[in-house]
Structure 1
Amino acid sequence: MAKLELKNLNKTYTSKIVPVKDVSLTVDNDEFLTLLGPSGCGKSTVLRMIAGLEEPTRGQIKIGDVDVTYKPAGDRNIAMVFQSYALYPHMTVYENLASGLKLRKVPPTEIKQRVAEVAEVLGLAELMNRKPGQMSGGQRQRVAVGRALVRNANVYLLDEPLSNLDALLRERVRADLKQIFADQKVPVVYVTHDQTEAMTLSTKVALLNDGYVQQLDPPELIYNHPANLFVAGFVGSPQMNLLTLPCKGRYAILGNFQVPLPNIPTVPPQIVLGIRPENVRVAQPGDTQTIQGQVYLVENLGMHYLVSVRVESSQTEAIIVRALLPTDQNWSSKNITLTLPSEDIHWFDVQSGHALVRRQMLGARG
């Protein structure tokens, strides 16, 4: 068992193309880390450097106590699952699973035992004589995972392995992956741009943008305590309401209403108020922190309506606040009073984008 450590990892192609900038993180034996972010954020480049397919410009990669920064990929004892499955089309399932072990000159009896164990775990025992062209996408993906598992590797790397599957199959295979790798007790690094995969699979998420780690935390902290505006806007569907508001005294001015500011040393001229649509609710008698507006768009999401409310202002343009509301009422074309619970509001600095309260709450953890 060996943990994975990245220290100040950097990859520079030219002075203007720097996909990875000083990435530092640790993945322990029983952790599943997801590298999450938009296209071009550097997550696949990080994975390729861990695998030995790209050489860092500077920084260090350690597996256990061994520095593998400049070791060839074949000497790192890592296993990788690719987006494209990368199966040998002319080989059966058994031959695909056994191929890597044969190249490593593992004894035939041990190969047979390892393949049988993995086939049992992945439900492939009935498919051992089939070739990839005779299988569904989900079955081929399980074979690709199985080929990695038979290696008994020190680190497992998965590069968007579910992106070629349809939505229903992706959900089922995602559940399989979570269970399979929970039993391996080795570091797992998973790359995706899909926040649902990141939130459901991971014990930790590293959210990247423009080559930098924006936040490294368990999924619940990423969601409930975003470190900055990018994290707040990227994670969550529907997206968080992010409203840039002027400040007056100890209040943010939302339309013609006042929202009390948090306890911050200096009140800025403007501030960003963030609140997730599921935390915005219809005001009840006794609620004090309320706003009023006109419903102008209702979107049916099945379990909820996503209701967009236009809050008028005598000083600026109207502000749009979105709320997830129950489907037992007709919200179309009506005035509505909403409440914004103070405990669910996030506050961000307009200039830096940093959360203004999170550092007090969580001890400046990034």
Structure 2
Amino acid sequence: MAKLELKNLNKTYNPKVIPVKDISLTVDDNEFLTLLGPSGCGKSTTLRMIAGLEEPTEGRILLGSEDITSKRPGDRNMAMVFQSYALYPHMTVFENLASGLKLKKTPRSEIQQRVTEVSQLLGLEELLQRKPGQLSGGQRQRVAVGRALVRRAQAYLLDEPLSNLDALLRERVRADIKQIFSTQKAPVVYVTHDQTEAMTLSTKVAVLNNGYVQQLDPPERIYNHPANLFVAGFVGSPQMNLLTLPCQERYAILGNFRINLPNIPTVPPQIVLGIRPENVRIARSEDTQTIQGRVYLVENLGMHNLVSVRIASSQTESPTVRALLPTDQNWSDAEITLALPPQNIHWFDVQSGDALRS
């Protein structure tokens, strides 16, 4: 198998529309990379350039040691799963699975063997004689994945393959995809705007925004050590608390409370404090970094309540902090003291948005 490399990839449609800007990354054998970001961030355009469906304005695409930048899609030895399934409606499941192999003049016996192996892997044995119109959405998606797998390609590309499924089915097929591609010794590039898919499926995540890679890291690091304000706000549900606070001496001022600043060379006039709602908790006697406020909104999320608290402040507007708290207590309109554990606080520069590391 071979690794996939993107080197300084750029796509320009006109001076005002540049969806991909200088993207460089590597996907190794048996590595599952997700391109994650909002609509218009450049993730699908990047995938289409890898597949050969779009031509890069600048940069190179390498598969193994071979430069495939100018190769036609059919000559790249890649397999792609589309958002719309892209199945032939007049063909049976067997014929859909075999179609790509027939175009490559694969011997009939080998086609039969590969289709049998993949249909067993995906649980499609009983559906081989059906047509796509007789299948559920989840079954059609498995056929689309199967059509890619029978290719035994050097790399697999998946373009938002779960977006047409309902929530329950999406969860089930997501688990199937994770299990299936963990056994494929080839690079996988997966495009989605759904952070749950990115966090659960990937060995590595590239968070994109405005055509640039904002952070390229394993999912745990993306979540626990966001590189900048965009990543911090985009990844995580409920969203991270992000508060722009004035600074005095070595403290950030949150309402009537002082929060110790990290060990940074120069104290700025303002700083952004970030902390995830699951890291905010009811204060205990040993906590040193605490704030007080009144609950004004409680949202039941099932296992937890998402509680919005107006922090006590002598200013006109009180800052709000959200916390995930237990459901065994009535928090409505309660006066509570919250702890902000220092090890869970993230600090960001107001101007650049970059994370500040102490």
Task: Mark yes or no: TM-score above 0.5.
Answer: yes
Match of 1:117, SS state, is helix
Q: Which residue of 1 aligns with 2:147?
A: 147
Matching residue of 1:183: 183
Aligned-partner Cα distance in 2 for 1:60–1:231: 27
Verify the 8 A CA contact 1:96 1:147 in the aligned structure 2.
yes
Shift of 1:30: 0.9
Distance in 1 separating the partners of 2:334 and 2:205: 41
Distance 2:304 2:343 in 1: 22
Q: CA deviation at 1:228?
A: 0.1
Question: What CA deviation, in whole Å up to 9, does each residue of 1:70-125 have, x standing for no partner?
Answer: 11111100000000000011110000000110000000000000000000100001
- What is aligned with 2:299? 299
SS at match of 1:54: coil
Alignment check: 8 A CA contact 1:310 1:321 kept: yes
Matched AA of 1:238: P
Partner of 2:213 in structure 1? Answer: 213
Partner SS for 1:141: helix
Corresponding residue of 1:10: 10
- Give the aligned partner of residue 311 of structure 1: 311
CA distance in 2, matches of 1:223, 1:36: 13
> Alpha-carbon deviation of 1:288?
1.4
Question: 8 Å contact 1:49–1:56 — kept in the other structure?
Answer: yes
Secondary structure of 1:315 counterpart:
coil
> 2:328 corresponds to which residue?
328
Indicate the SS of the match to 1:114.
helix
Q: Residue 167 of structure 2 aligns with which residue?
A: 167
| Corresponding letter in the other structure for 2:253 | I
4+ aligned runs moved over 4 Å, structure 1:
none
**How far is 1:284 from its partner?**
1.0
Tell me the residue number matched to 2:273: 273
How far apart, in 2, do the equivalents of 1:286 and 1:49 lie? 55
8 Å CA contact 1:255–1:316 kept in 2: the answer is no
Q: Are 1:346 and 2:346 matched, yes or no?
A: yes
Structure 1 equivalent of residue 64 of structure 2: 64
Aligned twin of 2:33: 33
Partner of 2:137 in structure 1?
A: 137
What's the C-alpha RMSD, in Å, of the aligned pairs?
A: 0.6
Residue type matched to 1:315 in 2?
Q
- Partner residue, 1:363: none
1:13-39: CA deviation from partner (whole Å, max 9, x where unpaired)? 100100000000000001000000000
2 CA distance for matches of 1:133 and 1:72? Answer: 31
Query: How far 1:285 sits from its partner (Å)?
Result: 1.4
CA contact (8 A) 1:206 1:214 kept: yes
1:95 alignment counterpart: 95
Q: Distance in 2 between matches of 1:313 and 1:284?
A: 22
Secondary structure, in 3 states, of the residue corresponding to 2:296?
strand
Contact between 1:33 and 1:206, CA under 8 Å: does it hold in 2?
Answer: yes
Name the stretch that deviates more: 312-321 or 33-42. Answer: 312-321
- 1:283 equivalent in structure 2: 283
Alpha-carbon shift at residue 316 of structure 1 (Å): 5.0
Give distance in 2, aligned partners of 1:57 and 1:177.
Answer: 32
- Deviations along 1:306-344, one digit per CA (max 9) or x if unpaired, are 000001322352000000000011101111000100000
Q: Secondary structure at the match of 2:200?
A: helix
* Number of residue equivalences: 358
Question: Kindly tell me: are residues 271 and 318 of structure 1, through their superposed partners in 2, closer, same or farther at Cα, counting changes over 3 Å?
Answer: same
- Letter matched to residue 66 of structure 2: V
Tell me the TM-score normalised to structure 2 length. 0.99
Please list, as runs of the form range in 1=range in 2, the aligned pairs for 1:103-114 lying within 5 A after superposition: 103-114=103-114
Q: Secondary structure at the match of 1:299?
A: strand
Shift of 1:2: 0.5
Q: How far apart are 1:270 and its partner, in Å?
A: 0.2
Which residue of structure 2 lines up, in the alignment, with residue 239 of structure 1?
Answer: 239
Amino acid at match of 2:220: E
Q: CA separation in 2, counterparts of 1:249 and 1:34?
A: 42
- Say if 1:247 and 1:253, in contact at 8 Å, map to a contact too: yes
Shift of 1:185: 1.0
- 5+ residue gaps, structure 2, are none
Q: C-alpha distance in 2, partners of 1:251/1:62?
A: 49
1:167 shift after superposition: 0.4
Aligned twin of 1:364: none
3-state SS in 2 of match to 1:318? coil
Q: Deviations over 1:202-234 (max 9, x none)?
A: 000000000000000000000000000000000
Match of 1:80 in 2: 80
Amino acid at match of 2:166: D
What is the identity, as a one-letter code, of the residue corresponding to 2:70? Y
Q: 1:248 — aligned with what?
A: 248
Which one-letter code corresponds to 1:347 in the other structure? W
- For 2:96 and 2:261, how far apart are their aligned partners in 1? 60
SS of aligned partner of 2:231: helix
Q: Partner of 1:156 in structure 2?
A: 156
1:114-146 Cα offsets, whole Å, 9 max, x none, are: 000000100001111000011100000000000
Q: C-alpha distance in 1, partners of 2:26/2:258?
A: 43
